[in-house]
Structure 1
């Protein structure tokens, strides 16, 4: 039974496992110290969920903000990559220590996992993440996950913990994600405007929904913003996972949100298999292909991408890579496993199957992307 309402996050029949993401603006004060008393109420809510039979994984921001204050770095430690990495390496020790201490107060064991985008983009490492998370949860442990900012560079990092939380939810097969932030949810315009209205439910993240987002992180401590949260919701909704944006500024924010129903709930739109969910969640690519309108219609009707419908190839991808498929207007319509290298796709694009063997020098494959390895966006 999937999550259909905010109250279902308290129902172990609908939500057997959840991921709670906590932003830097909530967890760290202006002096660079952890808001321990506030965080203790979160731990109490984690304990309550565990008592109800719900597994909990935490995605915790804050290491850069904590370390930057200790190192006296300006701009929250984000002025340069080196300062961000140094801040994270200092702050992560204190952050992990606080989580261990507070969870131990409720007889809960903490585990730390530091991950990068590369860990999720590699199928083998993704499966290792999944296995580790499931084993920790089976042992009654509360995993505390953060991006490994000490080594992550622009090419191999998420850049925000919202999308990390959605990918962690995929990996541990969670039913729901709660993003704790400093607003009550998604508004149809900037929340400071007097006629702004909060959306209680969203059935699929569309271009119209994206247009409502504020791309800035209001606190200056974090790296996310509403746009990052909508990107996380897109990842979650395609994997059959509900996602809620909840105001976490007060103590016991989960209980308060349930009581007031003040949040935005993004409902699942599909329930992809584990491998297809992994393909749909991929974020980094070596290239892409462009297809004509006829191919777009075929793909949306469950067909494969054939060479005859390909009108362009970009990048230096290799056979077996996961790459996106764009339509003629530049909209991404799918992601999938490509059956040819970029050079071969360019050589046979627009051709019928009977004409491809002479170009390739061998019998052509059944498709450029087979429907079994293709995920609609």
Structure 2
């Protein structure tokens, strides 16, 4: 296409017409290799977001860059590897990042609000619902929420892993109509575009379009953590939950947030899930496993039936009633996730037995169909 414009597919039309958008921008698009914020690049992203807001859009901005912004003030040559120094850099950089966004959006008379999340805020159901209410109120007040992982307190055990995943989770949490991932790469390629010979992919309709893609990780200067692999995983997560995705270069933010005729568009591959079912399938942490026989696997995955004790062949780990557990087949492949109705200690006496052979108080479903999500 001349001028780099891509064909306006239905996916691109949906992104372009979306009223509520989550936009993610990475560290490599906001900072320099030497560390510190590049205010000109940050202003360019803000200008594109503000322009979309002025047309009636509600935007949530998921922004990396806190740790990178803290490197120069702390005289650190590169992103630290140990968690304590990362958190120290984030503590310094987060303040600089928030100030930069407030100043930049102020040029457009836009108020911003900082929202720092840990994985607990989406893993725990009560926290998840509270985060939803917070975002709804901020957006209703005309505020642009600027979201980041709370790097100053998150531990390795409770991290999202990268802000691309955070953006995909946030897109569903806020009920976004589309997700836009802004990167230092202009689109998805089937290989490393820096090495030449890589094919540019402009439309992804389903998994088959990704069979030949070899996505790498991380930026070589150490400022970024995601890389194309994490962006691809985030796009697949969002699109499988009914949210169209556009991956584009941050330097094309105006067009990405305008006609959406740049980058790579990921078509929706699954139905829009309720907040609870999305939380069950993608956000909640599983604390144990239930092993199913073939008949139970078919009933749960194909007929969407509740899981009964008769179809269970074994359990692993310790869990309590109300916890999220994984349901696995005979090969340990995860086929579903759901909320278990019993403690792990109660199940050994129940598994493999028909409901009619159990005492009345133990005849309820082990995992009810309403609390179960099939994993594809």
TM-score, length of structure 1 as denominator length:
0.89
Q: What does residue 48 of structure 2 align with?
A: 45
Is residue 61–residue 147 contact of structure 2 (8 Å, CA) maintained in 1?
A: yes
Q: Which residue of structure 2 lines up, in the alignment, with residue 61 of structure 1?
A: 64
SS at match of 2:79: helix
- Equivalent pair of 2:50/2:108 in contact (CA under 8 Å): yes
Q: Distance in 1 between matches of 2:213 and 2:331?
A: 18
Unaligned runs of 5+ in 2: 1-8
Please list the CA deviations of residues 308-350 of structure 1 after superposition, one character each: whole Å capped at 9, or x if unmatched.
2222322211111112222223332211111111222343222
Matches within 5 A, 1:75-94: 75-77=78-80, 79-94=81-96
Q: How many residues align structurally?
A: 366
After superposition, the C-alpha distances for 1:159-198 in whole angstroms (9 at most, x for unaligned) are 2001111111122111111111122333333334544323
3-state SS, counterpart of residue 21 of structure 1: strand
Q: Which residue of 2 aligns with 1:366?
A: 364
Match of 1:240 among 239, 242, 247: 242
Query: Secondary structure at 1:65's aligned position in 2?
Result: helix
Counterpart residue number, 1:7: 13
**What secondary structure is seen at the aligned counterpart in 2 of 1:111?**
strand
Q: Secondary structure at the residue paired with 1:270?
A: coil
- Look up the SS of the partner of 2:166 in the other structure: helix
How far the C-alpha of 1:54 sits from its partner, in A, is: 1.3
- Determine helix, strand or coil for the equivalent of 2:362: coil
2:34–2:77 Cα contact (<8 Å) kept: no
CA displacement 1:79-122 (0-9 Å, x = unmatched):
11100110000000000000000001001001001110001111
State how 1:103-142 maps to structure 2 within 5 Å. 103-142=105-144
Aligned to 1:278: 279
Equivalent position to 1:349, from 341, 348, 351 = 351
Structure 1 residues 121, 113: closer, same or farther in 2, change over 3 A? same
Given that 1:201 and 1:267 are in contact with CA atoms closer than 8 Å, whether structure 2 keeps it comes out as no
Distance 2:138 2:288 in 1: 36
Aligned partners of 2:345 and 2:228: how far apart in 1? Answer: 39
> How far did 1:237 drift?
2.7
Cα gap change, 1:234/1:142 in structure 2, threshold over 3 Å: closer, same or farther? same
Contact in 2 for aligned 1:218/1:225 (Cα 8 Å): no
Given the superposition, is the C-alpha separation of residues 126 and 345 from structure 1 closer, same or farther in structure 2, using an over 3 Å criterion?
same
Query: CA distance change for structure 1 residues 255 and 144 in 2, over 3 Å: closer, same or farther?
Result: closer
For the residue of structure 2 that corresponds to 1:59, the secondary structure is strand
- Determine if contact 1:204/1:237 at 8 Å carries over to the other structure: no
Structure 2 distance, partners of 1:218, 1:181, is: 14
Note closer, same or farther for the CA distance 1:66–1:311 as it changes in structure 2 (3 Å cut): same
| RMSD (Å) for aligned C-alpha atoms | 2.4
Between the aligned partners of 2:347 and 2:188, the Cα distance in structure 1 is: 41
The 2-side partners of 1:255 and 1:123 are apart by: 32
Q: Choose 37-46 or 114-123, whichever is displaced more.
A: 37-46
Between the aligned partners of 1:163 and 1:20, the Cα distance in structure 2 is: 12
